[in-house]
């Protein structure tokens, strides 16, 4: 990808397009898809749309009973193998089982994540937002590489957030071992890592014809906000003084169905057949952010930087090798 490619294509869809609009004419029969976080928030709607288009969908899940209940109204049989992104042995076990059971994976949507949570450590001591949102998905995806390389027109979608604008990579102290912890800076770094990961993965899938994309789904009220108090959401401007969604947020925020559509577009659009490594939002490719950009749109240059993507990839491999 070059910076010149990071610009809107004129997809014809809108920020609040619905899944049926995005998937009209898309046939995923015979395709195998994996969706992390597919039993919560926009993940459920992503799974629903993919199965409706004919895909076989696998949802790795930490809470299988909850997943069964949440996905009970999806009109398809969903495989629900156990996996916990914070537990590397379970991630490696999931990848090994998929390699043993499947011939290929055509679509992988790394949708799961945590946001703005208190300081916690996962794995060998990684800061939990970086460890869950990036390292868990990095370990799983690299474990699935043989299946992704065997897929037909493979697409990988890594979900990020506009919060990536809050922070690039903190190369000198990624794990907040010495830096005072700030939950939003940590979240911003993790979301920048998601974008850089897709850029690095796209380069590695190129020889097999696969593509990887980053998706900012937009603002959506889902369980992702579970670590935020009502007071914090009022301060952020999402809620009014009465604790209800205010008019400004209502204009910008999407429903869970609308929130999954950019993932679906990146995973299936024919417009992206010869492209990859791009950051997408509102069912189109995003523009590079400038001083004139609205705070909730466009991508910061540090999140689509090839050199940073390679640095993060090699660092992530080294971190995994230590565990």
Q: Give catalytic residue positions.
A: 187
> DSSP class of residue 7?
S
Q: Which residues of 231-259 are buried (b: 16+ CB within 10 A; e: fewer)?
A: eebbeeebbeeeeeebeebeeebbebbbb
- Cβ contact 137:158 at 8 Å: yes
Sign of CA dihedral 193, 196, 202, 204: negative
* Distance of alpha carbon 323 from alpha carbon 293, whole angstroms: 41
* CA 91-40-123 angle, 5° bins: 30
Q: Dihedral angle at the C-alpha atoms of 292, 133, 108, 269, nearest 10 degrees? A: -10
* Distance of alpha carbon 13 from alpha carbon 283, whole angstroms: 6
Q: Which residues are CB-neighbours of 180 under 8 A, at least 6 positions away? A: none
CB atoms within 10 A of CB 11: 18
* Distance of alpha carbon 164 from alpha carbon 197, whole angstroms: 13
* Distance of alpha carbon 215 from alpha carbon 265, whole angstroms: 9
CB atoms within 10 A of CB 111: 26
* Distance of alpha carbon 260 from alpha carbon 279, whole angstroms: 15
Q: Pairing mode, if any, of strands 211-216 and 155-159?
A: parallel
* Distance of alpha carbon 196 from alpha carbon 202, whole angstroms: 10
């Amino acid at each position: 990808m070059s910076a010149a490619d990071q610009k809107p294509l004129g997809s014809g869809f809108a920020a609040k397009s619905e899944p049926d609009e995005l998937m009209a004419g898309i046939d995923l029969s015979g395709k195998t898809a994996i969706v992390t976080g597919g039993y919560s928030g926009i993940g459920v709607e992503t799974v629903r749309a993919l199965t409706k288009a004919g895909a076989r969908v696998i949802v790795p899940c930490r809470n299988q009973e909850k997943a069964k209940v949440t996905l009970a109204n999806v009109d398809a049989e969903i495989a629900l193998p156990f996996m916990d992104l914070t537990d590397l042995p379970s991630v490696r076990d999931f990848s090994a089982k998929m390699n043993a059971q499947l011939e290929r994976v055509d679509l992988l949507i790394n949708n799961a994540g945590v946001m703005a949570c208190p300081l916690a450590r996962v794995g060998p001591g990684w800061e939990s937002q970086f460890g869950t949102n990036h390292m868990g998905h990095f370990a799983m995806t690299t474990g699935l590489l043989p299946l992704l390389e065997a897929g037909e027109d493979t697409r990988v979608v890594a979900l990020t957030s506009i919060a990536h604008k809050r922070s690039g990579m903190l190369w000198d102290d990624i794990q907040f071992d010495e830096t005072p912890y700030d939950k939003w800076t940590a979240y911003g770094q993790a979301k920048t890592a998601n974008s850089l990961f897709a850029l690095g993965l796209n380069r590695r899938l190129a020889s097999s014809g696969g593509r990887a994309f980053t998706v900012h789904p937009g603002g959506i009220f889902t369980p992702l906000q579970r670590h935020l108090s009502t007071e914090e959401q009022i301060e952020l401007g999402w809620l009014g003084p009465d604790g209800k969604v205010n008019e400004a947020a209502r204009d910008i925020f999407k429903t869970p169905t609308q929130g999954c559509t950019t993932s679906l577009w990146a995973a299936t659009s024919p417009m992206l057949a010869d492209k990859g490594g791009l950051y997408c939002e509102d069912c189109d490719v995003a523009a590079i952010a400038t001083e004139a950009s609205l705070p909730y749109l466009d991508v910061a240059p540090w999140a689509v930087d090839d050199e940073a993507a390679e640095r993060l990839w090699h660092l992530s491999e080294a971190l995994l090798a230590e565990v």
